[in-house]
Structure 1
């Protein structure tokens, strides 16, 4: 297989050099590899397909897809009169181009869809203009390589070149992808997850439930499938585990991919492996805005969604942040009929996780399981009540999150940032219920002999086993921590302080009030000022009452706007002033709670609510595990410093965040006093020597 991939890479160097940059070879070589493989597979049934095509045409049948596919004996066909080898019979460049286009048009719809997404037709002008088309076809049809599933024999029936079965052809294709990704490392990480990371994901998804695998059908899904490598590795892993346990399983792959080329690669790879139905289960377009599998549930779900990437276009298609009603992203939880999981438009990674969770199967012998890669933003970004925090809350409070594994830095091709593997289960084992495990695997790796883009390390088989063993043990170690679910939750409370205003009823203030609020308000305030004097008055409540009495005497009806005008235009913040009362309750009408304070109104006991001062508004974060809850926290941390403060209970929100640094940070030991003293003495000696030199030179 290495010889085949080297030969194909040699074609690129021989034919495309000086016509394409090395990084753009893939635009031609990948679709041509697909075309040649499909051509070779279809060679034995070519005449049968052409005969069936002629019969269908003669009978005037328009819908020919099923009959031609059956005649080809594959999930695809080519009904043109040409084969790739047959195209080489002409030396006329224009005729070759026309015949080649007719040949491509003869493929079945699924293959044409692949070529359309490869945008291969866009390369034909360039190939023709540079006389590359003939040598390109000629070299792919070379007798030195065999991309057919049948062996090449000599005249005596002796095998010259072995056949390339579907699995080995898929491996050749993957090797080509790896080589092209090495040439385009700035793009690789977006669509290509390193094999070592995929192996770890597959093991953590399947091994915990391997002994529960039964004979039957299993559905695998990737909502950001890229080139499909994650799905095929997961399929191989599940099949091997089932075989080891003597089980017969049927596995079906499902995926969705937005990028046209990688969608084409994924679909082509499955066709090349002979998995025609699986190729039809790969959908294009955006998973977020155009779900390819609405309502369908899956057994195992693995994905590496884009992170740190805007999904604003998808958000607009979904109706905008306030208009999203998709049940994948607006859920019922904790008594809230519509809790939004919609994140900021600058990063949609948690939306992909919400999509995956919506597709987990309930019940069955094996609970649905998810493995998904995220960056650190998914752990802590977003305020309480925001989409990201709501998603974490929804996941953890439903007890779906089993573990998060911190991966080594520089594990991916296009980013060196911290990355994390989330493991979720629809139904946890008894030992894991109500718990979340954090595993720090950042030091478990082997350096690569040379960097692949930003990837400079890999997980060995031993490293993967260490992670799996830490997961299985579910124990407290230096690299593994286990916490109750509510460890990561908190209340975000809003602490209010009363608005304290002194009232200015001087002529200047009244003139300003008249200009801003009108004659009625100014006249009432002026009448009150005649009785109270110009001020300043440190009891705004008395001033407001006097203004209302004056307004009534002037025949003005009670008006809330008048109160607001007095506060806005005659009030000045004064920490020594009495708090401004917003509402008065009779004693016993309501129990004293946060926001209600005892007072005496007209000489009688009462409870009052104060106007909040937005300038003094503050927020506090209270852990859900706080002993005594919010009340105890408030009594200890707030009330002693601000006895007039209260909590706006309507503004209290629950949030969740996960901090690896908090649990795994290892502080460096402080230097001893002796070491510090020695450094200072050394610096002093050096300074004295320098001064001596300067003086001597002078």
Structure 2
């Protein structure tokens, strides 16, 4: 589209807002009138040519055919579009016949709106235009707005016309209509301090995405092409894809029918997209309203090409109830089949944290890829994401599971890093992910990374946060790098496994010292989780708390509230229950009796200490639950690095039992300590020690490396008694552009720094002398 024509139309429409709406709306609300009126005027212009044919069809159906309900199919044929208007009115006619009576104009205008087909009525509803009509009528500006939009000096029809002075007014093409839409949205959002990028993606970014999607397979395009965008906004990606495919038809000999599908959650943007589909002759029924994450409007459909710029860094908590119920995934789009560390396939959630749902949109598209059995071309995806999609989430998290599923299924072809400040609403780094389930032979098992962060041209004037752009040469260079797949410079090629890692858990034995003392035994008076409140209450009222707890209930509750202590309903109930206090006092008494029965010397072997406690309980004929016994042991023990290791279990492994364990761990007998089994005192005995949660650590082992070799090399030299908890091992994937493209810049030499400092001193000295001289003169 001619940029001067676009600017002329935008300026004219902007002037309508300033001339007619200044005293009725604040500037940020101009859009509520201007955008729907712009759409309405465009539809009105398109229907002008066939207005008589539609009117005749309405007359025929009512008078000759005797229809009480009009046939929409015949009306669409008469209008030449997928929409129509059966009223006697056009916008020009409304203006010409307008009387000074505001109510009559309002009634006629509403009759005009009521005459539209249902698909246009939905657009009007989403724009909430009828509310604005009432407001404009009350302010007596409706006629002014209609006069401006039907002015003979502006042409919003697709055909060239002449203004009253005989000057040619170039028609507004469908593509031009999209550009004007987007420029208006950007300007209105700037006025309202909103994020323009929520609604559309820079055209040059979409152009790059279409190049990456279509050019590699331009000679294999099917006769019927379906394109999908689950966050379609105003429809820019869909229409640009259609235009690009049609342009390709000029280069290669093929004919294809293109069908566009999309979904949008913002009512106004949905209205823009749907009206754009109507204007350009696409089926508006393929554009759905609502949240893509909450419901799948296209269940069972699979698409040839998909592209999207989903919202990133945006919470999807309002949709979460449709996706997840506790731990159960409710929507099959968001769970995947992965193999665990033992090689067994299992279904796992592919659900990222609720604060950022961008990867769910990618999984929605992945679920809609065509099977190769049904389509030899398969499906291709281009999706824009920020950096968190590359690395957020540890092994086993939803984000990592999504990356793992895509990479291990060999669907990720490339990721292109874009320049900062390329989008209207954000200056952060963004990336285009390119996926395919039918890779070429050279791409199988590979992922290409392209660092295009320095390929841009500065804008003369910023557009929101956007201060740079791609020009044709940048798009062509990136596309060429993608097609040729070099492994040098700003293009690097990696094996799929290069991005994977084992997250192993390194355990160390728990070492406890123990000793009965009056102070430690006294702590048994309180439940460990409620110790703070119980200790305060006992300090206040002493033994009275056991007989008059109900009397002090209000004071305790006030203390909890005043100290802002968070307690669950169950914990609070236990705290205020006499049974809890009595049980803890009885446990303390048991502790006191044990202190008398067991030696009170310091023990550095907790295993021996436990045996002594068991003997004491037996002698005292006291029976405790495991929970009660553990509370006593925890009260009188503490971590000590000089203490002996705490034994969890002694295994007697002989013959097949030992062989089975070695097979399970994939190791040999001499390496068993590296996996948590240590030789015991007798032949065939293997000791399993308690692990210390405070000393527990994790290591990320590259997927291409053997876990054991890494452990022996990197861990064992530093902690001789550590072992690997294989049952906790998880596989993760992350992609770090900085890691692969970082170029070290050596520090300057001392001589260079010294020379610069001396030069600065000389310049500063000269400046001071001039200042002093100037002061003496004055």
Shared fold by TM > 0.5?
A: yes
| 1:549 alignment counterpart | 615
Choose which of 64, 68, 72 in structure 2 pairs with 1:65. Answer: 72
Q: How does 1:28-177 map to 2 (within 5 A)?
A: 28-53=33-58, 56=61, 59=66, 61-62=68-69, 64-88=71-95, 89-91=97-99, 92-149=101-158, 164=171, 168-177=173-182
| 1:250 alignment counterpart | 257
Whether 1:391 and 2:402 are equivalent positions in the alignment is yes
| 2:309 alignment counterpart | 304
Unaligned runs of 5+ in 1: 691-698
| 2:272 alignment counterpart | 265
Distance 1:508 1:263, change over 3 A: closer
| 2:534 alignment counterpart | none
| 2:295 alignment counterpart | 290
Could you list the per-position Cα deviations for residues 488-524 of structure 1 after superposition, in whole angstroms to 9, with x for gaps in the alignment?
1111122111111112134554555587786997788
Which shows bigger deviation, 582-591 or 90-99?
Answer: 582-591
Distance 1:270 1:514, change over 3 A: closer
Answer yes or no: is the 8 Å Cα contact 1:191–1:226 preserved in 2: yes
SS in 2 for 1:614: coil
In 1, the alpha carbon distance for the partners of 2:509 and 2:623 equals 28
SS in 1 for 2:327: helix
Choose which of 373, 377, 380 in structure 2 pairs with 1:366. Answer: 377
Q: How does 1:185-584 map to 2 (within 5 A)?
A: 185=190, 186-214=194-222, 216-275=223-282, 277=283, 279-320=284-325, 322-334=327-339, 335-363=344-372, 364-506=375-517, 508-510=519-521, 512-513=523-524, 533-553=599-619, 559-561=625-627, 563-584=629-650
SS in 2 for 1:328: helix
SS in 2 for 1:247: coil
In 1, the alpha carbon distance for the partners of 2:526 and 2:359 equals 53
Answer yes or no: is the 8 Å Cα contact 2:503–2:700 preserved in 1: yes
In 2, the alpha carbon distance for the partners of 1:66 and 1:689 equals 87
Could you list the per-position Cα deviations for residues 641-678 of structure 1 after superposition, in whole angstroms to 9, with x for gaps in the alignment?
22221222222111111111111112222111222444
SS in 1 for 2:487: coil
How far the C-alpha of 1:555 sits from its partner, in A, is 5.1
Answer yes or no: is the 8 Å Cα contact 1:192–1:229 preserved in 2: yes
| 2:573 alignment counterpart | none
In 1, the alpha carbon distance for the partners of 2:77 and 2:176 equals 27
| 1:693 alignment counterpart | none
Aligned alpha-carbon RMSD (Å) = 3.1
SS in 2 for 1:245: coil
| 1:597 alignment counterpart | 677
How far the C-alpha of 1:267 sits from its partner, in A, is 0.8
Could you list the per-position Cα deviations for residues 534-570 of structure 1 after superposition, in whole angstroms to 9, with x for gaps in the alignment?
1211111112123333444555668533552343112
In 1, the alpha carbon distance for the partners of 2:728 and 2:641 equals 25
SS in 2 for 1:74: coil
Distance 1:154 1:642, change over 3 A: closer
In 2, the alpha carbon distance for the partners of 1:54 and 1:488 equals 68
Could you list the per-position Cα deviations for residues 273-309 of structure 1 after superposition, in whole angstroms to 9, with x for gaps in the alignment?
222x2x2111111111122211210001111111111
In 2, the alpha carbon distance for the partners of 1:411 and 1:486 equals 31
Answer yes or no: is the 8 Å Cα contact 2:30–2:188 preserved in 1: no
SS in 2 for 1:622: strand
How far the C-alpha of 1:14 sits from its partner, in A, is 3.4
How far the C-alpha of 1:130 sits from its partner, in A, is 2.7
How far the C-alpha of 1:442 sits from its partner, in A, is 0.9
In 1, the alpha carbon distance for the partners of 2:504 and 2:518 equals 42
SS in 1 for 2:442: helix
Answer yes or no: is the 8 Å Cα contact 1:384–1:390 preserved in 2: yes
SS in 2 for 1:372: strand
In 2, the alpha carbon distance for the partners of 1:33 and 1:357 equals 36
Distance 1:504 1:242, change over 3 A: same
How far the C-alpha of 1:528 sits from its partner, in A, is 6.9
Which shows bigger deviation, 285-294 or 320-329?
Answer: 320-329
Distance 1:529 1:304, change over 3 A: same
Which shows bigger deviation, 247-256 or 79-88?
Answer: 79-88
In 1, the alpha carbon distance for the partners of 2:185 and 2:123 equals 18
How far the C-alpha of 1:150 sits from its partner, in A, is 5.7
How far the C-alpha of 1:66 sits from its partner, in A, is 3.1
Distance 1:221 1:321, change over 3 A: farther
SS in 2 for 1:635: helix
Distance 1:319 1:485, change over 3 A: closer
Choose which of 676, 690, 694 in structure 2 pairs with 1:611. Answer: 690
Answer yes or no: is the 8 Å Cα contact 1:226–1:263 preserved in 2: yes
Could you list the per-position Cα deviations for residues 95-146 of structure 1 after superposition, in whole angstroms to 9, with x for gaps in the alignment?
1011111211111110011111122122113322332211222232233344
In 2, the alpha carbon distance for the partners of 1:567 and 1:681 equals 69
Which shows bigger deviation, 50-59 or 100-109?
Answer: 50-59
Answer yes or no: is the 8 Å Cα contact 1:584–1:607 preserved in 2: yes
Whether 1:657 and 2:662 are equivalent positions in the alignment is no
Which shows bigger deviation, 216-225 or 467-476?
Answer: 467-476
In 2, the alpha carbon distance for the partners of 1:379 and 1:128 equals 53
SS in 2 for 1:296: coil
Could you list the per-position Cα deviations for residues 158-200 of structure 1 after superposition, in whole angstroms to 9, with x for gaps in the alignment?
x9867847xx144134224224414424421111111111110
Distance 1:134 1:519, change over 3 A: closer
In 2, the alpha carbon distance for the partners of 1:103 and 1:407 equals 47
Answer yes or no: is the 8 Å Cα contact 1:525–1:550 preserved in 2: no
Could you list the per-position Cα deviations for residues 25-82 of structure 1 after superposition, in whole angstroms to 9, with x for gaps in the alignment?
3322222222223223333443443454456557463464334334433211112232
Aligned residues: 680
Distance 1:474 1:43, change over 3 A: closer
In 2, the alpha carbon distance for the partners of 1:531 and 1:685 equals 85
Whether 1:625 and 2:704 are equivalent positions in the alignment is yes
Answer yes or no: is the 8 Å Cα contact 2:10–2:184 preserved in 1: no
Distance 1:63 1:652, change over 3 A: farther
